[in-house]
Chain A
Amino acid sequence: GENVEQHPSTLSVQEGDSAVIKCTYSDSASNYFPWYKQELGKRPQLIIDIRSNVGEKKDQRIAVTLNKTAKHFSLHITETQPEDSAVYFCAANFGNQFYFGTGTSLTVIP
C-alpha cells in the first residue's frame, strides 16, 4: 500500500517568514494530494489540494507543489501570521483510500 511521510513534525517560524512542509509518497499511482489544517480542538479542514496532472497550485498565501518523478509534494505558506499556527497534514489518495502524513505542528511566533 501507500506510505506517506511528512516532515518536519514541528516547525516554528517568525511572523512574516515562510513555512514549508514536505511530504513524500511511495505509490506512483496516487493522484490526488490534499493538505489539511487543524486548529486546536477543531476539525481538520482542507486548505489546498493538487492533482497529479498539475505541478503547482496557489491560493493567496498558500501554495502546493508536486514532483511526480520524485514522488514528493510540499506546502508553502508565505507571510505567515499567528493564525496560521495549527497542525497541518498531507495526504495521498490511492484508489478509494487516503493515506495521511503524521502531521506538522506549526507555530508562528509574533
Chain B
Amino acid sequence: GAVVSQHPSWVICKSGTSVKIECRSLDFQATTMFWYRQFPKQSLMLMATSNEGSKATYEQGVEKDKFLINHASLTLSTLTVTSAHPEDSSFYICSAAGGNNSPLHFGNGTRLTVT
C-alpha cells in the first residue's frame, strides 16, 4: 500500500538552531501534503497545507516565517523549524494524499525537542 516516510523520527536541537523535517511519498505522487503539530494527549493541529509547486497555505496563528514549508516535487515536502525555541518542542506529523478520493496517508511523525 501507499507509504509516507517522515524523517527524522526524533531530533534534539539547541535553541536558535533550525531543524528540517522531510516527508516523502514513497510509491505515489502527492500533490498535497499536510503538516500537523500535536500536543500531548491532544488531537492533531493542522499547521499548513503544502501544495506542490506553489506556496503553502498556513492555518491561522501559524507563523509562516518560522515554519518554512517547501513542496518542490510530487514526492517530497519539507518543514523547517527556524530559530527553534523550547516552546517549539512538539510532535510534528505529515500526511499525503495520492489523488482523488485516496485515503490520507500519514508519516510516523517527528518528535522535536529543543533544549
B91 and A43 form a contact (CB under 8 A): no
Mark B16-34 against chain A: 1 for CB-CB distance below 8 A, else 0. 0000000000000000101
A105 interface neighbour in B38, B91, B103, Cβ under 8 Å: B103
Please tell me if B1 contacts chain A, counting CB pairs below 8 Å: yes
For the complex, what is the distance from the CA of A81 to the CA of B1, rounded to whole Å?
Answer: 29
Q: Which residue of A lies closest to B59 (CB)?
A: A43
B43 and A104 form a contact (CB under 8 A): no
B104 interface neighbour in A32, A44, A97, A98, Cβ under 8 Å: A44
Name A86-107 residues within 8 Å CB distance of B: 87, 89, 93, 96-98, 100, 102-105, 107
B43 and A89 form a contact (CB under 8 A): no
Please tell me if B105 contacts chain A, counting CB pairs below 8 Å: yes
Inside 8 A of B40's CB, which chain A residues have their CB? 96
Name B9-61 residues within 8 Å CB distance of A: 32, 34, 38, 40-41, 43-44, 46, 49
Which of B32, B100, B104 gathers the greatest number of chain A CB atoms within 10 Å?
B104
The segment from A33-41, A55-63, A64-72 found at the interface with B is A33-41
Chain A interface, >50% SS class:
strand
For the complex, what is the distance from the CA of A107 to the CA of B32, rounded to whole Å?
Answer: 21
For the complex, what is the distance from the CA of A107 to the CA of B49, rounded to whole Å?
Answer: 24
Given the contacts A97-B91, A97-B109, A98-B43, A44 and B102 also touching, CB distance less than 8 Å: no
A87 and B102 form a contact (CB under 8 A): yes
Name B67-115 residues within 8 Å CB distance of A: 91, 95, 97, 100-106, 109
Inside 8 A of A49's CB, which chain B residues have their CB? 43
Listed by A's residue number, 9 A-B pairs whose Cβ atoms lie within 8 Å are A32-B41, A34-B43, A38-B97, A43-B49, A44-B34, A44-B46, A49-B43, A93-B41, A102-B105
